[in-house]
Each structure stands twice: as structure tokens, then as C-alpha cells.
Amino acid sequence: MSLSKLAFRNLKNIRHNMMYLGAVTFAILIYYTFLAIRSNEAMLNANEMYGKLGTVFTGSSIILAVFSTIFIWYSSDFFLRRRKQELGLYALLGLERKQIAQLIFIETMGYGMVGLIIGTALGTVASKYFVQLLAHVMAIDIEATFTISLAAMGQTIAVFLVIFLLIALRSARTIYRFTLIELFKANQQVEVIPKVHPILAVLSLLLIGFGYYLTGQPLLDHFTVVAPLLMVCIIVGTFGTMSYFTIFLLRVLSKQARHFEGTNLILHGQLLSRVKSNAVMLSTITIITAVTLTTVGAATSIYYFIDRTVEQQMPYSLSVASKRQEAEQLIKESNQTIEQRTMVNVKNVDHQMEELPNPLYLTKYYRTYAMDGSKGQFSYINYSDYGRLAKANGKRVLPEPQQGEAIVLETFKGNDLLQERVKSPVGIKINDIHSSFRITGETDLPIAQLYEKQRLAFVVSDDAFAMMPERAWMLTNYQFSDERTDDGLMKKLEALYGKQAETDMAAYYPVYAITTATTGLLAFAAGFLGLVFLLATGSIIYFKMLAEAEESKHRFAIIQKVGVAQGEQASIIRRLVGFVFSLPYFLGLIHSIFAMQVLQKLLNYNIVMPTVLAIGCYTVVYLVYYIMTVRAYRRIVM
């Protein structure tokens, strides 16, 4: 029988290699689907931002390719391990190593070709529904169809042919590393109990603790130094924890009285003999778990608070500084209804402040004060207009400032990431070209969304306002019945104002649309990658544990002969697999929680709900992998 016929017969034995073929097909399916979404014509035509954010998909596709390589690598490792005795039999029957290597090479490439056919076919179907999901989160109305992307297919074939070629060469090379007797005794490897290093174990925990401490510091002040140091501490500490602290912990447990109760002796022996060889895998999965939970949690949180974010930037449906009657006529002709209209007189003053008060000087988000001798622009409104504006926005009306007093508007509230503390501006005096004003109150009430949030504004008494020689501008703010939809009103308004649109008009809907599209796209990419990371890590543990199950058959055969009941054997398997699954999960979860605290400070939102949602979804899928692994492990050893 020729090698090609033997390889073809082995390829037809799908039942024994279904998990390997499934892993290969899944990796191809995900990669092709992602590329098909990136090049979808309907999405490109529907939203301009989709095309501009192509770098998101490009970077994500590179990450997917790397993970696919790791994923298939682990899968093929399990596939090769369970066949070592079969390969030894081929050698015993007279096949040369070169022929066995050629056989493995042909089979690996054969499974790759089958996976490419099935994966691209399923990806073509899946891409339609993923495009619909992406359009939904981006708030775009499109009709997705089944399309075959030749560019995506060509790139998928090229990438995975390279991956399969590397893995096939690696698998073939493995044949030359083992002697015939080693192939037959592949499932009887002798494992040594690792040594304990208490100092390294404690040092690993201290590194992680120091990394957690750094997350509570003002990162942005020294970001280029603190951020890399934090990452190094967490990563090195994680690898040290898996390599040294787990061994130290297991050895401590082995000296306890409970070590000799029931099947604990067998379980602890199994864990100690395996933990050192699994340290790199467990550390990698811990870091991936932390990155996945943090990335998905961050994207979910940002998307969850889209409304609040846009509301802070654009508190009104529309603000105009001129052509008010023409603008209102266009509004009447549209589907929008004006629910509220507020008008405020504003005087803009160019001046240099002799003294910059806290917190206005400390914050990094004010560009309006004088800097290096240049003039800054400030706005003043009278107390009467302020009162009407505050009531319209549901804000508490502060007491009226007296002569020489003022209320500061849109004061930056401060952030722990930017500065340790922010002093109150109340009581501080500012000097401008008109007079001195003592700050008696502060509020974040915006006078209009025409001006950037960085612009400082002050409320003064009606008399003080009238005495200022600058020209007063009438700003009008509108609240619409449904500001999240647009029937063409925005284009008509832009045409009305022409070149003045950037200065005399600002609307909620364009900002909402672009923010939703951008954030939705980023959330989708993060969720998609998170799903891939989750499935990849779960599958890596799955194949790793099944490979160890093949090597543990003789151990469980001895356990059965000495009279250990099947229920107790099942308990050993559940706890053994549970330890491998839970250790990277819980440590990665703790890492992500500290990282999410940093994000919460940055966003200044309570992100508990979206974070819990992301962790919950991750945990459910992770538990499914645990149950699958336990069942497969039992079928092998029992």
C-alpha cells in the first residue's frame, strides 16, 4: 500500500480525529468570517466610518492569525501524541522514518485542506449574520446578503496553508526525535516531583501585589514609565506564581493531615507531577483571560454608556447662533418636534488672566486661559439667562452673585488618573480686563454645545453683564422629540449655514451617529476577538488535558486494581481538571478586575453592570469547556 493511500485511509477515519478536524475548521471559520465582514460591500457603502476604521480589522486579523497558529499547534500536538504508538507500529512493520514523516506531512496537509473547504463554506453563511449583528450595534440599517469574498478567501487560504505547512514540518520533524522504543512508551513517561522554591514563590506574589498597587496610582502623569512597569510586574508575577507558588502551595497541602484523607493523596500527586510542565500554558492562559475580560469589559462599558457620553458632549438636540427663524422653519418641515427652546445671551471676552485659580490651572483640559502671553477666550452670561437655562436642564439654581462675584460654569470635576486631588475654585479671585470676580459657586451646566467643553464661562449679575462693552450673542438651544433619528434635517441645516456650520450650528444627531458607529465597531471587534480567545484557551486546556489523560491510563488502571471505586475516580478527575481550569481563570479574573478599576476612573462611570455581564458570559462558556473536558477525560481513562 502506498503512502498516499495509507494517508487517505487515515483521513477517512474522521470519528477518531473529529476533535482535531473540528479545531482546524473552527480556526479557519473564524478567520475567514472576520475577513469577510471587513470587506463587506454593504457595510462599506452604508457608513463612511466603517471604511476609515479598517485598521481595527487589520490589526484584529493579525491577532487572529497568531491565535489560530497557537490553537492549531496545541491541537496537532494532541493529535500527534495519541498516535505515537501507531507510528511506532509503522516503524516496526518496516516503514522508514522518512516515510513516516511523509505520511504525517500528507495527513496534516490533508486535514488542513478539508478544514479550509468546510471552514470557508460555513464562514460564508456565518458572515451574513455577523454583518447583521455589526450593523445593529453600529445603528446602521442595511440588508446583508450571502456573498463570497474572493479577497477574504484568498487571504485565508494563503495564511492557513503557511500555518499547516509549518505544523506539518514540525510534526514530521518530531518523528526523527524519537526512537522506536520511545514511541511505544510515549504513554509511560516518568515525571519527577518538582523542587520547591519558597523565595521565588513569595517574590511572585509580591510582584503581582506591586502591579495591583500601581493600578491605583495616577497613571497618566508618568504613563510611559508606570504602564510598562505594571505590565512587567503582572506578567512576570503570573509566570512565577504558576511555576513556583502553585508547587509551594501543593507541597504545603501535602504536609497537612487532609492530604492522607480519601483520594487526596492521589490527586495531590497527580497535580505535583504535572504542574511544572503546565506552568507556561497556565500562565499564558491567565494573561489571555485577563486581557480578554478587560478588553471585552472595556468595550462593553464604553458601548453601554454611549448615551451618557454623547449627552455630556452634546446636551441639546440643536444649538444655533444665527439664522434662528430659518432653522426653525426647516425643523417644522421635518419629522422633529421642538419640545423645549432656551435662549441665552453670551459675551465672549479676550483677555489675559493675571492669576490662574485652582482647579482650572491644574486640569489638563482647559485651553482657554492665557498661556505663554497669548490671549484666552472666556464667556460671560447674566444671572437671569443662567436661571432659565438651569431650570430647563433640571439643575439647581445657585444663589445670585453680587457685585464683584461670579459663578464658574463647566468646571472640570477632576479625575484620579489626571491628578491626585482637585481643589475647589470657590473663594478664589480671578482678575480680567473688566474687574475682579470672587468665585461663589460652580456648576457643570453648559451654556451651549457650540463651544467646546474646555471653554470657561462665568455667570455674573445682570448689571455687571450689561456694563461689559463686548457685543452680546444670542444662542438658542433646542430639545427635539426624537433626537436619535434624522430624516434629512441635518443636511438641510448644514446647507443653510454653509461655511458657518462649524461655528454657528451644533447638533446632537451627527455626534450620536458617529459615536455609535465607532464605538459599536470597536465593541464588535473586541467581542469577536474575546470569543476567539475564550474558545482558543478553552480548547487549549481541553487538548492538553486529553493528552495527559492518554498518558495517565496506566495510573488509573492501577487505581482501579487497588479497589478505588468509580465514583472516587470521577471525583479525582473533576478536581484535577477543575484545578487546571480554575487556577488561570480566577487569577486572570483578579487581574482584569484591577484593570477595570483603572477604566472606571478614566470613564468616571459605574461600570459594574457591563463588567459583570462580560464576566458572566465568559464564565458560562468556560464552564461548558470544563464539563466537556471532564467527560472526555473520563472516557479515556475509565
DSSP code for 442? E
How would you classify residue 479: left for phi > 0, otherwise alpha for psi between -120 and 50, otherwise beta? beta
How far apart, in Å, are the Cα atoms of 180 and each of 89, 110, 313, 446? 9, 25, 71, 80
Backbone angles phi, psi at 156, to 5 degrees: -60, -45
Q: Which of these, 590, 506, 580, 31, lies nearest to 282 by C-alpha position?
A: 580
The pLDDT value recorded for residue 417 is 34
Give the other-Cβ count within 10 Å of 454's Cβ: 14
Task: Find the DSSP H helices in 482-607.
Answer: 489-497, 501-504, 508-551, 553-561, 566-603
* β-sheet with 318-320: strand ranges across: 429-431, 436-443, 405-409, 457-460, 376-382, 338-351, 472-480, 318-320, 505-507
Whole-number pLDDT of residue 57? 73
Interatomic CA distance for residues 291 and 439, integer angstroms: 45
Please report how many Cα atoms fall inside a 13 Å half-sphere around the Cα of residue 595, on the Cβ side: 24
Tell me how far apart the alpha carbons of residues 534 and 553 are, in angstroms, rounded to a whole number: 29
**What is the residue-wise DSSP string for 560-580?**
HHTT--HHHHHHHHHHHHHHH
CB-count burial class (<10 Å; 0-12, 13-18, 19+) for 18? exposed
Give dist(CA 380, CA 608) in Å, integer.
Answer: 39
- For the CA atoms of 565, 569, 572, 576, what is the dihedral angle to 10 degrees? 180
Residue 263 · residue 571 · CB < 8 Å: yes
Q: What pLDDT score was predicted for residue 462? A: 92
The residues near 125 (Cβ < 8 Å, ≥ 6 apart) are 146
- Is residue 372 left, alpha or beta, with left meaning phi > 0 and alpha meaning psi from -120 to 50? left
CA distances from 194 to 268, 272, 330, 370 (A): 13, 7, 78, 66
Cis omega before residue 399 (within 30°)? Answer: no
pLDDT of residue 453: 47
Q: What is the DSSP letter of 448?
A: -
Query: Per residue in 159-216, pLDDT tens?
Result: 888 888 888 787 777 766 665 555 555 555 545 566 778 888 889 989 999 988 887 7
Note the pLDDT of residue 586: 92
> In whole angstroms, what is the distance from residue 572 CA to residue 461 CA?
78
Q: In this predicted structure, what is the pLDDT of residue 1?
A: 55
Q: Tell me the three-class secondary structure of 345-365, residue by residue.
A: EEEEEEECCCCCCCCCCCCCC
Query: In this structure, what C-alpha cell is assigned to residue 551?
Result: 498518558
Reported pTM: 0.74
The confidence score (pLDDT) of residue 460 equals 92
Q: What is the pLDDT of residues 387-397, one digit of tens each?
A: 988 888 888 89
The stretches of 15-53 forming alpha helices (DSSP H) are 18-38, 41-46, 48-52
Instruction: Tell me how far apart the terminal alpha carbons of the chain are, to the nearest angstrom.
Output: 35
Number of H helices, E strands in the chain: 24, 9
Phi-psi region of 144 (alpha: psi -120 to 50; beta: other; left: phi over 0): beta
**Grid cell for residue 443:** 456648576
What single DSSP character describes residue 90?
H
**Phi, psi (5° rounding) for residue 458?**
-130, 140
Q: Which three cell numbers stand for residue 82?
A: 495519541
Instruction: Decide: helix, strand or coil at residue 246.
Output: helix
**Angstrom distance (rounded) from CA 422 to CA 418:** 10
Nearest-CA neighbor of 626 among 550, 534, 563?
Answer: 534
Rounded Cα–Cα distance for residues 369 and 183 (Å): 77
- Cβ atoms within 10 A of the Cβ of 343, count? 13
Antiparallel, parallel or unpaired: β 457-460 and 405-409: antiparallel
Instruction: Flag residues of the chain having pLDDT under 50.
Output: 190, 259-260, 355-372, 411-423, 453-454
Cβ burial 114-142 (10 Å sphere, 16+ → b, else e)? ebbebbbebbbebbbebbebbbebbbbeb
Q: Are 282 and 583 in contact (CB under 8 A)?
A: yes
Where are the chain's structural domains?
1-189, 190-315+510-637, 338-480
Name the β-bridge partners of 349.
Answer: 378
- Taking each helix axis from N to C end, the angle separating 489-497 and 324-333, rounded to the nearest 10 degrees, works out to 160
Give the containing element (helix H, strand E) for 457.
strand 457-460
Phi and psi at 116, nearest 5°, equal -65, -45
